[in-house]
Chain A
Amino acid sequence: MSTQAFTLTAPRSTVLFAGLMTDDTQSLADGLRRRDPDVLDRLIEQYQQRLYRYLLFLTGNTALAEDLFQETWIRVLERGHQYNAKSKFESWLFAIARNLVIDVSRRKKIASLEELGDSESNQPFELPDERSVSPLQLLVTRENEQVVQLSLLKIPAYYREVLLLRFQEELSLEEISTVLSTPLSTVKSRLYRGLTVLKSALPEGAA
Chain B
Amino acid sequence: MTMAVPWQTGNIVGPKNALLLNPEHCARLLKAAKRPLIVVGANATSPSVGLPDLGEYVLRLAKSMKAQVVASPTVQSQFDSTGGMQVFSMGLEDLTNRLKDKRWKGFDGRGPYDYALLIGGVYYFESQMLATLKHFAPHVRTVSLDRFYQPNASFSFPNMDMAKWRDGLNMITQELGGKR
Do these two chains really belong together in a complex?
Answer: no
Q: Which residues of A contact B (CB under 8 A)?
A: none
Binding site for A on B (CB under 8 A): none
